[in-house]
């Protein structure tokens, strides 16, 4: 599965169109965000997480999408179920993101 990039324009439609979603918020200047990008892409192809839509948003360029998850630091990950925010966390630890994905599957 691939990671889809979103903007404020298509954010809400995409969140609502899928039952389970994880969003990675990043900024171009964020070193930890760049380091996590290949891990996020790999997780998107992990068969354990089939059925979860993987999305990413540039937090600096998309204030509405950032506000929807309460982003306070980067990288920031947010899970949504049926269009509603479930959990948000600022982390660069893969095990934290895996835990969020497992909670979303439950």
Residues marked active site are found at: 30, 33
The DSSP-derived string for 27-81 is -TT-HHHHHHHHHHHHHHT-GGGTTEEEEEEETTT-HHHHHHHT--SSSEEEEEE
Count CB neighbours of 5 within 10 A. Answer: 12
Supply φ then ψ for residue 65, to 5 degrees.
Answer: -65, -40
Eight-state DSSP code of residue 85: E
């Amino acid at each position: 599965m691939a990671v889809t990039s979103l903007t404020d324009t298509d954010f809400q439609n995409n969140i609502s169109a899928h039952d389970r979603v994880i969003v990675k918020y990043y900024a171009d200047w964020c070193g930890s965000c760049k380091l996590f990008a290949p891990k996020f892409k790999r997780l998107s192809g992990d068969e354990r997480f089939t059925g979860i839509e993987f999305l990413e948003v540039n937090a600096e360029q998309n204030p509405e999408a950032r506000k929807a998850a309460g982003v306070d630091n980067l990288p920031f990950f947010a899970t949504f179920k049926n269009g509603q925010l479930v959990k948000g966390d600022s982390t660069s630890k893969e095990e934290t993101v895996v835990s969020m994905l497992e909670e979303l599957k439950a």
